[in-house]
Amino acid sequence: MTNSDTTFGTHNKQSAIMSQNDGDHESFVKTVFANTDDAIDFFFTSDAQAVFNECCTLLQWALVDDNGKNSSLKYTMAFGTKGGDIAAADDWAEQWKSRMATLQDNSNWATANSDYTSTASGDHLF
């Protein structure tokens, strides 16, 4: 569950689409997802999911149609602030960045089965 720090609004809204890479293999078959939970589990480790859920104030996921199949995942996230006189590094957006970087450095952000491309999207879900 996302945090509820909306007293000072939300900031740093961003969206991205996670797409499966098929490389140069014509026989590659992309995984088709029945729902967003399946797609989230496909792309992200449970530790990465915890970072999204703990650091984001607003978070929405959606399946993306890729040539008639739901094989891509989109998310939109935004961050509130803890408020008060805290260091920027301790606020939600920077916590998300630093925790993501730590997991990526330890090969614990993306799941082993997801060779993917993440593309920024200006078309937000909320």
Q: What is the pTM of this model?
A: 0.89
Give the E-state strand segments of 21-102 in sequence order: 58-66, 69-79
Using CA atoms, how far apart are residues 8 and 50, in angstroms rounded to an integer?
23
pLDDT recorded at residue 21: 87
Give per-residue pLDDT as tens, 27-86.
778 899 999 999 999 999 999 999 999 999 999 999 999 889 999 999 999 999 988 888
Residue type at 115 in one-letter notation: D
Residue 124 pLDDT > 70: yes
How far from 76 is each of 41, 42, 44, CA to CA, in Å?
Answer: 17, 18, 15
Using CA atoms, how far apart are residues 53 and 75, in angstroms rounded to an integer?
12
